[in-house]
Structure 1
């Protein structure tokens, strides 16, 4: 095949000339040049080869065809187009054609496959549809090429081209459009796959397939959508791939957001996910387990799980039952109880009955052994009693009953015990009957009083509550349970106290016939009890002597002893009961005073005589010895037992003889005051005690004179309450009316006024008592003098403090003035010494800033200043945009000195620049102030670590910058702070 090559092209190839820069020139001249020289040689005579030498290898040009993909009028346009094919086809070249146009060539194709390859390349749009094949005769010279060293002109061998085809094949294979190998070799299967892709998804890109179009095809293959419509629907819902879209659509999810959220929680269907969200569930596992148990919400499921339940039905039964823990609920359910109240009541009753039987058995055994200390069966009885005591401390009624039976078996072997136990049982029954009758009589009195009050107060606000209580009393009165009767009586008292009806009902009550008390056999106690050092305090001594015992049990209500042995009421409340001692107001006051040092702020004094139940519920027992010796054994024996066990001990902190003398003195004082008030002959201030409420003070001014006495009256009026009553000032008439309404627990007034109020209250049927406290006129004058003296001393102290403060402020001001004068002198000296160096730096930066503001600075100066002060530069650039222009710029030196940089001492300077601007449009001027600081490193000719700030910025940024650079100022002196007065 003969190919004509232009002489200009051959000459250019040999000379290596180019119109545009050519890469890999040596390779190009050595490879393509050799090919074209062979083509030129086809038109020249060929000498015969020398004998003995081999014929020179010829390049089979006739087996190649050039692939021309485009042509352009100008070289620049052709080169740009050729470069754009690089990512998909690899290196290309531009050659000048004989017709003057510039041809863009992709390389060569083998002649036998050139046509089919051309058509396939067009079919898959890697080349334009008007691309054609050329034998190169019309190509004159190379203008540009992109071939690297050792590359091939054959397009089919190019890595970039092969990679483009492989990318197509891999994408089509992933979409199910192509089942051939992914080898980068094109053929009909690849073209058919491309056609099917176009049919389904449309033509990617424009007329040719560039790298972006390839990427879109790959993206289509990766996301897996079957059609553009499916992709659009998925993208509208926020889905990025077909798998997620299909899974979401199958589960009924409308958007990727809800699908992803559901999938992260483990849900696959929208229905379950919506139900879970509505129920507050956090995961699919939790939702499934909750639904299996019948729960509709996560909160109910979590609550049930914490309580130990897996099903909603059982948990609902548990919640309705009132139980707080699952084991107790299940135990009750097994016993046939569905609610805690009935279960607890049954268990409590069984335990109460068992413990009562145990206590009776133990009490009988103890009393019997005291009378028979030489019993031959002592060891067995003691062992059985010990077991019973241990069982009584548990909450198992069956264990208590079994231990009681064992002790009964041991006691049954003792001769005479049966008769003794029968007598004790009869005594207990009689005591219980007496107590029951006593309480029923009290309830009868309560019922009579409430009935009479209702008849007289049918329109009173408290009527509904009183009627309800009366109805309850009718049912409670017939109960055989002593505890229930006692609780009913206490409940009535609490209601009357709350409503302020105590005095009214008390006047309306009618006394009922009380059954005669069963007198105990005192000789039995004296005969059965052996004297010991522990019980002698109650058994030996005068019958009228009063003994005070304290509860030494660690579980005592309030009283305890510390490491030093001191007594303390840890809760602030002291619980007491008495036997044989009159519980008067004077006794209460004396007890409150005596127990206050031990921390007793309130006093709970039982209204009834001490009983056996008080041994654990009271801190102190106040017992008259004679009354104790006459007490029933049901009370006396437990007290003696507690003494022997150390649970009760004598209370040394309270001597009742001294207390009695104080009570008698208070009663005498109260009687004296009572007599004086009756005769209107007592000067000073005193108080009468009424019902509970505030302390109502009449004409007690000034308050400071009366405060100590008022506090003492408030303590008396507290009557066991946790808080002292408030002190309220009012007139005598208001105090009288308030006392009638039950709002005054005490009335404090001057003698004549107090007598009038007392008499008026008694006239109205109110119960009042004179308090044993009086503020005499002499004491008033003493307090007045003390208060005047304290006030004068306070004024003198305040005046002394004022004079001292004035002196300190004057000293501080003089110190500041001296420091300022010294600083000014030092600054003058510094500036005289270093003025030249400072002026040099000022003259370096100030003109530069001024030129920059005017706009006269050179490009290098603008760049330098903008690098140092970017915010200032940005402000200057924005002036024109905001219709402002600079008018005047001035800079002054603020500071100069030596800073530290990398261990070296370098100069540093600080300036203050003011720029005056104007706006022609606004017809206004404005002034702007900036502070600049910079480290001027002369050794390296560098300006470093610049600072820029507004003059009026909050905080001293310049001071912080100076400290940070360890600036030793040669211009300013920082005055030391004067002491602040």
Structure 2
């Protein structure tokens, strides 16, 4: 006889009065069989409840499970229930705090989450226990349990999650500490914490690692604690050695450490200082430090400045100069000005002293003149200015020198004014003469030199400095002589005035205006050329330049007008393709009128049309070109547009001709003149093979509408009917169907044009073959997975077959015995569910007053689902209701019938061409005495739904008369 059998026989008193008495008697017999020193068991008090950890089908499993909790909870009991299953009880809890205690135990994972409290009414007899002392029935008083809680509290305290006493008492503080631990390190594996899990938690508290895998990984890399490992991981360090070396040198990330080593930096401080200054290497930092600069930009500025000494560079920078050449030029100008002032002062002093030889302090003045003369050759503006200032101070005591100097200054100013005026007049005459020559010789190779010189002259004339103007006169004279233009300029000067161009026969302004550099691109050239002008003014609706200077359409829409350019659909599409690179997703085309020209992004002007355009259009355009707000749009030449148009026109012509002769195979598209909505595709099969060309067609259509249309798959006749209703923006079909559609559209007066795209037969066959290969590969992989799953399932079925045989026999017996009662309930609810789903007159369930609730009131979620079918184009066609479980349940200390149903609904959608099946689980308690339906529950089929029904059954202590216990 097995140990379990021995225990069962030994623990069977003759006539227990209650479960508490029964348990006390069993424990008494066990205690008497042990040494006499142990105390007799105490009777379990009626103010306690049993904590049931789990239930098992056989005693061996229950005993093994009970023994597994010895390390954390202490002794356990295995008690056979009246339904034949074996309950594993952890002990008893005081009724007053039982609910709070079990919730705390679950929160700490010391017991499984499905543990429950029991009064013990359904428990029959103790078959096994590990109690040494009857007092150990009180779980809260056990030393093993208290020690487990203390170990958890100590671990959580060490991790900083718990700041309460380590006393083995559970409460909200301990539960919250466990939650923080679980969020940080993850919950322990398994239904409840066992000895290994408790030890793992203590290990985590000791070194901070989440689990053994992380601990092993860290120690393999040389780390002994989680804090260092985590810090190293976040810094990207591969080992403790690298981490320790980097930290000792002041680095926190491996990237910084590697970068610092590559740059030759000795420590973190030097690297941080270098990085703050923008230095990439220690050598550059050291070189910069030697010259006294802190940033790489300053060091680069010094290197680029041309200075060889840092002090000279710093002195220049303090004066606002960044390079040596500019500084030296400015210094030369300062020296030149100082020399001019010195020479002027010496000249004034010389003239004054000759007129006043008895001037006091003559020797001192002579000495200062000698000093100034010497300083003029020293090359220092500051030294010369200081010497000049001292000379002026030496002359100051003479009362008449100040008046004499002022008179001389006034004379020089007047002379300079006359000189500047003469130079300006001469240079302006030269400017006009050279501009006239340029206008008459636009193709001359001498033009670039003259244009560059006139650009410099324009700047010189704005300044007005006499020396600058004199230098400009010499420069221009040299250039004219070098280019040999003296004779031609003299001939132009002899002409009284230029002869204006005669106005065009059409009365337009464009052909009668003078050609300037700004408008030459529009006015000069073949008449058939089309010039593209870009609007750079404030009224451009979308065109602008980004930070890099590139043209972009800020709103995504390009507003364009044309003059003398036919606005064919091909032009719009060519513009869309050309301007897509500038961010334009839509093109708006219109006429170029006087009112529109300034408010368009681009102007497409045929030169011959512009030259005869009315002044109201031409004048604003030319004025805007002179102002620079309109200029030739260099990034896009009209020739590219014309080339695209020609290619598209040729393709459309070829497709049209081939369709007429039937020589073209494949798929193309037809664009109705009026239409909207979707791209209507007459594709019967292998639709995915057409996806790429359909996407191109959708983008092609979106270029005009600005919105990407959806694709609808129809047959050719349905597509034609949709086009007649203007519901198709494009028609996509095979060559044969396209020919028929073209004829039908023409017959019904629906203008349409062939789209410039085609999917030929070879490309289609290639796409179909690629899809087939992809599907074959997918099918092969799926079949491989299926065979593997079948093998695993067959093995599982063989393993479970023996156990299933006995359970099936039990279920057969149960269903034979209770089948009549269950079938009666099934028939009632089956008809009610079918009526609800199929729209038949509702079946009213019996109630106390002869009329109870309809099925939809009992199961509102099922009713709501049924209500969504019609709006989604689904229709129910069949309902199958089967018994999932049947038995008796408890409701408020009363026993009554309960039934669980599995309802499967077949639905169909003609729109989708598809069948589906929906499955639901429903259960309720049938109160025959009061003719009521108690606690109905419902859920979709599946693991979650099954768990919900199982929880409902457990809560109502369902004793199944249909399903054998598992």
> Normalising to structure 1: TM-score of the pair?
0.28
> Normalising to structure 2: TM-score of the pair?
0.28
Q: Choose 1 or 2 for highest CA Rg.
A: 1
